Amino acid sequence: MATVEQDLLVVGGGITGAGIALDAASRGLKVGLVEKHDFAWGTSSRSTKLIHGGLRYLKQFEIALVREVGMERAIVHRNARHIVIPEKMLLPIVEGGSLGRTMSSVGLWVYDLLAGVNSDERRRMLNKSETMDAEPMLRKDILKGGGLYYEYRTDDARLTIENMKSAIQHGANCVNYAEAVDYIYENKKVVGAIIKDNISGKNVTIRAKKIVNAAGPWVDTLRAKDTDGIQRKRLHLTKGVHIVIPYEKLPIQQAVYFDVEDGRMIFAIPREGVTYVGTTDTDYKGEIGEPYTNQADVDYTLAAINKMFPEVSLETRDVVSTWAGLRPLIHEDGKSPSELSRKDEIFEASSGLLSIAGGKLTGYRKMAERIVDLVVKQLKSEDDAYRNLKDCQTLNMRLSGGDFESQEAVEQFIIRRSGEVTQIKVPGIYVRHLVHKYGTNTDVIIEKAFELYQKIQDPELRIQMAELWYCVHHEMSVSLSDYLIRRTGRLYFQRQGLGNLYPTLAEMMGELLGWNEAQILREMGKFKKEYDAVLNF
Ligand code: FAD
């Protein structure tokens, strides 16, 4: 990247940056992307992990937004069926709740209509006893009925990585641990950036015709470095927290989207042996890089759970993991965090710097299309060499690992591969976990596990080593935290088993990356800090 001028340099390796890199590279642009930590290190590994239309935005009459993200749900699902999976949601209707029976019914109907939902996934309204059958643990005295509808569950960090890998397949250069520290200018126009390699500490200069600042919560930090500074609109960061409870302590039958006393709504979602619940929405003024869960966040969420599911009586000690993220929203005077629009906006500085903020994980593809359309329009008007650039290509583009025609095809793939791995004594259940992370790329991991058959006797360690090897060699994992947080989500969903396992994984990673003893210890120390921090309240 430092030797050849790029057509486009993207700053920020969250879902927004990854989507832009893929869109631009697949239209034929020469694209570079830099991420100061690991890919998806910011908000894009800390969301509610839903590809959803945002039912509650209907209450705020954000019809265009609900329509756009509603339509995008089906597109993102079609292009990445291994990690964007239909999830049945129950919306209980309760006395004093934010939506009555008629409003819920009409709201869900409009929601399905706007999103063009298939007939088999349309909402179904339930009476009180049907709702109790669907979810026996709901509080009965205030329950009036419910609505069942569909959203999609995802893994935000993996969706980011799959986009990044697809962008690279289309020729983009994407690097993690590379930070934009300053811009360079010619004739008052931004023509490149100084990039610090956060591993070696060296600086390089990357020249680019266009620069897009897709730095999420840091968008304003990067705008402030530009000659234009922060004009007119600015970001408004709000914090959202999720807490994780062992499934047996909150054994709900399906995801539930329920009312909280203050008029907000939160999700409880069963997944991988746990149930996670969130989110909060509070103004955030602290250090951008380190939003953590505090006792007030935990108290708020536990109170909400205990009110809606009174039999469970959860306490702080039942919380086994948490995560906290910052929404990079656009400030509007006089609006509270929950009232701020989730719409995305593009800011164009007189220096030529383009910034994009707001939006949702769900709408990333459309956000990318909008800003790359603008980049292409500018390039075409400035230089005839760009006149043959293609239009947006991502509508029907399968993401890396997502080459499946249907959800049944994903299931068949799992069944076939589960049969194959019994030859090397690996239990089939591992294959299901792998396919819901890596899709068809699971084949590369299984092939590696076969190769390791003689070398590693324990089947569990063998498949773990094969997965780790894949994440190092195909997904640029360079630290234990990259692997255990953003490639596999294990710090959030399997934290309980990790305390004893992570030193072994550090040794295994050291073997792959040639770390010496001191480096292994350093990596373990870095991960232990994050391991402790999620429960440090
Ligand atoms: P980020 O993911 O933060 O990416 C920006 C990246 O830029 C970071 O990785 C950062 O390290 C990097 N960066 C910063 N400065 C520099 C620099 N100088 N040089 C290089 N790199 C830099 N949306 C949904 O659709 N569904 C949900 O369920 C959902 N739930 C949410 C729940 C919570 C609690 C929150 C906070 C958000 C949720 N969202 C959800 C919104 C969604 O997560 C965000 O809109 C999205 O992840 C933002 O992605 P991004 O790429 O813009 O920002």
Residue 21 shares a structural domain with residue 119:
no
Q: Which two tokens stand for residue 28?
A: 């034929």
Q: Looking at the CA of residue 178, tell me the nearest atom of ligand 1.
A: 20
As a whole number of angstroms, the distance between CA 292 and CA 255 comes to 24
Residue 520 shares a structural domain with residue 463:
yes
Mean pLDDT across the stretch 25-33? Answer: 98
pLDDT at site 53: 78
> Which residues is 182 bridged to in the sheet?
194
Give the DSSP per-residue string, 225-245: TSTT-S-S--EEEEEEEEEEE
Is the CB of 174 inside a 6 Å radius of any atom of ligand 1? Answer: no
Task: State the distance from the centre of ligand 1 to the C-alpha of 518, rounded, in angstroms.
Answer: 33
Is the CB of 355 inside a 6 Å radius of any atom of ligand 1? Answer: no
Q: What is the pLDDT of residues 335-362, one digit of tens each?
A: 888 778 788 999 999 999 999 999 999 9
Q: How confident is the model at residue 235 (pLDDT cuts 50, 70, 90)?
A: very high
As a whole number of angstroms, the distance between CA 400 and CA 269 comes to 26
Residue 241 shares a structural domain with residue 228:
no
Distances (CA, A) of 171 to 27, 30, 487: 10, 7, 22
Last residue of a domain, one of 357, 386, 415: 386
Instruction: Classify burial at 486, counting beta carbons within 10 Å of its beta carbon; exposed 0-12, middle 13-18, buried 19 or more.
Output: buried
Residue 131 shares a structural domain with residue 193:
no
Is the CB of 44 inside a 6 Å radius of any atom of ligand 1? Answer: yes
- Answer whether residue 117 shows pLDDT above 90: no
Query: Which CATH number is 328's domain given?
Result: 3.30.9.10
Q: For ligand 1, atom 52, which residue shows the shortest CA distance? A: 216
Residue 98 shares a structural domain with residue 226:
no
- Answer whether residue 54 shows pLDDT above 80: no
pLDDT at site 523: 95
Domain-located, residue 228: yes
Task: State the distance from the centre of ligand 1 to the C-alpha of 463, rounded, in angstroms.
Answer: 31
- Residue predicted with more confidence, 367 or 110: 367
Q: Looking at the CA of residue 37, tell me the nearest atom of ligand 1.
A: 11
Mean pLDDT across the stretch 364-379? Answer: 97
Q: Looking at the CA of residue 50, tell me the nearest atom of ligand 1.
A: 28
Secondary structure class of 72 (helix, strand, coil): helix
Q: Domain range holding 305?
A: 84-153+236-336
Number of domains in the chain: 3
